[in-house]
A and B are shown apart, each in its own frame.
Chain A
Amino acid sequence: MNVVVCVKQVPDTSDPDVEVHIDSSGKGVDESKFSFVINDADNYAVEEAILLKEKHEGEVTVVNIGPEAANQVVRMALAKGGDQAIRLDDERFAFSDITATARLLASAIGDLEFDIVMTGCIASDDGYSAVGVTLAQMLDLPHAAMVKSVEVIGDNKLKVGRELEGGLLEMLEIETPCVLTIQTGINEPRYASFKGIRAASKKEIKVMDLEATGLSEDQVGEAGSTAVMVEYSVPVVGELAEILEGDAAETSVKLSGILKEKGLV
């Protein structure tokens, strides 16, 4: 069972101390104060890929689009059990939309031998929930999105559960090779061992630039995009909560008073 897993490096905006500010270009954000992490859902995809490898043998290939700094998340996936990696890196890839991003991944993955391609089901920065399913169609493969369970039930067959609204699971059978977009909570992502981290430093990360992808300049980046994010803006905010001021002692008195007055305690 060979699995390709796509990982994205994203800013850790879950940290409440991190503010997101639009930069002077209007199309980017000030990244100077960000720390970068693997996208949450991709972390679960890496774990699911390694679990399948451990159960059914085979290899895990890690694929990333990102600058050299993204080696951090690629190496961590290798340290957990990935066997080799590909990083697509070229200035001309910047501002790729869903389609151009999936096209880049397809150029790297199309020639590999695999049974399953996994991606996270959503990226925490752009929230598209679309690249994995787009990639599947470009590779002409079946797919299932928002996957919360994976079971191998035959030589070329998986039983997967898709998470729908209200926690409802849609169970389905799907032929391999296929593309699955993995939902958070499907497993418990492991931490890399020291041994794994040492081993990862020796594993190959193949870097591909535009020429290596075989794509042309007008197929990638903004030129290769059909739905382009042209301008960020600060959201129009509706009426905000009444903010209770003061230190914890003061705010807790104020809040408990309000709750009492409303008959809530």
Chain B
Amino acid sequence: MHDIFVLAEHREGELREVTLEILTLAGQLAEQSGGKVTAVLLGSGIDEYAGKCASFADRVLVVDDPMYKDYNSAAYQQALVELIKAEKPHLVLIGNTGQGVDLAPSLAVELDVPYTSDVVSVTLEGDKPVATRQYYGGKIDGRIEFKDADVYVLAIREASTPAGEGGKSGEIQKIDNPVTTEVTVRKFLEYVEAAIGEVDITQSTMLVSVGRGIRDEKNMPIMEELAEAMGADLSASRAVVDAGWLPTDRQVGISGKTVSPKLYLAVGISGAFQHVTGIKGADVVVAINKDPDAPIFQYADYGIVDDLLKVVPALTEKIKEMKG
């Protein structure tokens, strides 16, 4: 009755890291509650993933069927509903990922159980989970309490719990596909990789990155000049790419690129979680932002709290002088 289900996530031949992170979190909670952790693995030809999950779980429940080769929310949801009804776990943890946000909310409705999303930490108070999540772009935390239920579904933010070492040897249990009719309302077609343009920012050693704070396309030249003076490539946060001021292949963050430059100079970027996840590999992070409370200053090594329209041209001049 204290058991925890974790949905394993895989894509294009790889078990995603978020699976091990959430299994680690589930292990910590189970230690407290005395429950068991079950990794639920839906897929086709997935023995290798089952083995990996087993070192982080007490049990791996495997449904191996061509129906689950690629993710389809409708098929996944039907399978999970059947498994959860049969096994009655207390907590169901799913990644708050491109897959999880497409699946967990409707799963919770069909099960008629409480749900919340993008959880950054979970504790157990008595039998019940209490979740912490962020509001207003990370400027405020909120505590979520749940109404009494037999099952709670939580979508957990990626990288909120570091994956542990594993070391368990959970039992791998293969079961028959609980979904017996073909799913027709939604059909997976293919994955389309993001194109890479003239500059591959994942390979850049120096990045000058521009965010919403630039405010207007007409201000972009000062960023180009700074990047040129520094010998850096130009990258951007989502807002700038959405506005069409830089191409998609320059976007840094969860839905863009993960970068690992020696220097990441974030200009006018507030530092939402979706963005900073993409700069974990940077050696030195410098932030220029008008807002002293911008979360980016928590990730930066050096910061300047000022108007970028003043600082950027001054910095460009200084660097030009220095380089002679």
Contacts and interface: CB of A to CB of B under 8 A. Distances in A.
Contacts of A170: 71, 98, 188, 191
Given A165-B98, A168-B194, A252-B315, A142 B74 contact: yes
A178 B323 CA distance: 58
Contacts of A231: 142-143
Interface residues of A, number: 87
B268 to A, nearest CB: 8
Given A98-B117, A137-B110, A169-B192, A248 B314 contact: yes
Contact of B297 (A161, A172, A240): A240
Given A226-B114, A260-B322, A169 B191 contact: yes
B73 A143 contact: yes
Interface string A14-51: 10110110100000010000000000100000000000
B306 A248 contact: yes
B260 interface: no
A102 B117 CA distance: 14
A142 B135 contact: no
A228 interface: yes
B115 A167 contact: no
Contacts, number: 277
Chain B, interface size category, equals: 35 or more
A171 B102 contact: no
Nearest to B287: A241
A226 B146 contact: yes
Contact of B255 (A124, A128, A166, A242): A166
Nearest to B139: A20
A35 to B, nearest CB: 14
Given A142-B74, A145-B102, A241-B287, A234 B140 contact: yes
Contact of B106 (A143, A251, A265): A143
Contacts of A174: 185-187
Contacts of A237: 298
A243 interface: yes
A175 B300 CA distance: 46
Nearest to B238: A184
Nearest to A159: B189
B140 A22 contact: yes
B303 A242 contact: yes
Contacts of A125: 135-136
A165 B97 contact: yes
7 contacts: A99-B115, A121-B101, A134-B109, A163-B255, A164-B11, A174-B186, A233-B141
